[in-house]
Amino acid sequence: MRTDLRTGTPTGTSEEAGGGTGALTGRTALVTGGGRGIGRGIAERLARDGARVAVHYGSNETAAKETVAAIEAAGGSAFAIGVELGRPDDAEALWEAFDRHADGLDILVNNAGIGTASPIEAIGEQEYDRVFAVNVKAPFFIVRHGLGRLRDGGRVINISSGLARTAVMPDKVAYAMTKGALDVFTRDLSKVLGPRGITVNSVAPGIIDTDNTAELLHGTPDGWARAAAISALGKVGSPADVADVVAFLASDAGRWVTGSWVDATGGSLT
């Protein structure tokens, strides 16, 4: 049965609902980098499950508003907030924007990030500092300044990467290092927030079909096939594949999972 996103009432088929359950009705979620790619998939899925979703964007306001419009067209509730991460006081600015729309938070998804970095022989200090500022420092201080807004029993979900556990792409070492740091943050934060009933987990995608991977997948005639061969399932993942894992962790069904690194690579590490 399809569930009305505002009331949780069954109204149609599960196929029409795209997997929505109403399990998050009454909760508020924030998805950083929620306008495109994996972030958009997560934002739309959480909204289908009933959450009111803050769709954060750094620079692409159009994409964020399109995501909000898609959520609303499906019967959900969402709003966009724009703050460029990786700059001084970015976390405070993000929460100031959030506070204009909501008075508390149940689910925080730290998804925004720079998705690549130059090889060690080419990367300069400015690029290195930038990727760490966006991928590590920003999530840390978003949580730091959001502690008073995050309700007891809430969820923090950090989007990591399979590259944190494998050297299959050693040319992206700086990027992989940021995800390793994010995973340590997940582990320790789970102990800090556990007494409040807040779970904290990392979800690690593999190669996902987004605009960020367009060159890898479509830049050569065999790009897609080579990427699919990395997965034990012989496929390239979609944003929905990751969003479904996040939705589980965000729901009551995921209440006993915390401090974990969840492999969402489609078996790319096997």
More confident: 124 or 3: 124
Domain of 30 in residue numbering reads as: 20-264
105 is a domain residue: yes
Residue of 57, 172, 179, 202 with catalytic role:
179
Q: Can you state the angle between helices 173-193 and 138-146, rounded to 10 degrees?
A: 20
- Using pLDDT thresholds of 50, 70 and 90, give the confidence band for residue 19: low
User: What's the rounded mean pLDDT across residues 122-145?
Assistant: 98
Q: Both tokens of residue 136?
A: 């590590």
10 is a domain residue: no
144 is a domain residue: yes
Strand, coil or helix: 211? helix
What pLDDT score does 147 carry?
98
Query: Is there a catalytic annotation at residue 160?
Result: yes
What is the domain-level CATH number for residue 148? 3.40.50.720
Query: Is there a catalytic annotation at residue 161?
Result: yes
**Are β-strands 150-159 and 28-31 bridged in parallel, bridged antiparallel, or unpaired?**
unpaired
With a threshold of 0.95, does the pTM exceed it? no
Residue of 161, 231, 251, 268 with catalytic role:
161
Which of 260, 142, 258, 245 has the alpha carbon at shortest distance from 193?
Answer: 258
89 is a domain residue: yes
215 is a domain residue: yes
Q: Both tokens of residue 15?
A: 């196929």
As a whole number of angstroms, the distance between CA 26 and CA 53 comes to 11
pLDDT tens, position by position, 116-128: 999 999 999 999 9
User: What's the rounded mean pLDDT across residues 43-65?
Assistant: 98
4 is a domain residue: no
199 in Cβ contact with 156 (< 8 Å):
yes
Instruction: Give the chain's end-to-end CA distance (angstroms, integer).
Output: 36
124 is a domain residue: yes
Q: Both tokens of residue 213?
A: 């991977």
As a whole number of angstroms, the distance between CA 8 and CA 221 comes to 45
47 in Cβ contact with 249 (< 8 Å):
no
Residue of 57, 118, 128, 160 with catalytic role:
160
pLDDT tens, position by position, 195-221: 999 999 999 999 898 888 778 888 899
Query: Is there a catalytic annotation at residue 179?
Result: yes
For the four alpha carbons of 170, 173, 175 and 179, in that order, the dihedral sign comes to positive
Strand, coil or helix: 107? strand
pLDDT tens, position by position, 219-236: 899 889 988 998 999 999
What pLDDT score does 60 carry?
97
As a whole number of angstroms, the distance between CA 34 and CA 41 comes to 8
pLDDT tens, position by position, 58-99: 999 999 999 999 999 999 999 999 999 999 999 999 999 999
The overall average pLDDT reported for the chain is 92
Residue of 175, 190, 251, 268 with catalytic role:
175
84 is a domain residue: yes
CA dihedral (204, 206, 211, 217) in degrees, to 10, reads 170
User: What does 52-97 look like in DSSP terms, one character per residue?
Assistant: EEEEEESS-HHHHHHHHHHHHHTT-EEEEEE--SSSTTHHHHHHHH
Domains: count for the chain:
1
